[in-house]
Amino acid sequence: AAAEAILSVVGDELAVDKIVPSPLDPRVAPAVAEAVAAAARAEGVTD
Q: Is residue 9 within 8 Å of 21, Cβ to Cβ?
A: yes
- Give the residue extent of every domain in the chain: 2-43
Task: Give this prediction's pTM.
Answer: 0.75
Q: Which amino acid is at 32?
A: V
Predicted pLDDT at 13: 85
As a three-state string, the secondary structure of 1-47 is CHHHHHHHHHHHHCECCECCCCCCCCCHHHHHHHHHHHHHHHHCCCC
Predicted pLDDT at 28: 94
Predicted pLDDT at 47: 62
Note the pLDDT tens digit of each residue in 1-47: 998 998 888 888 888 888 888 889 999 999 999 999 999 999 998 76
Predicted pLDDT at 32: 95
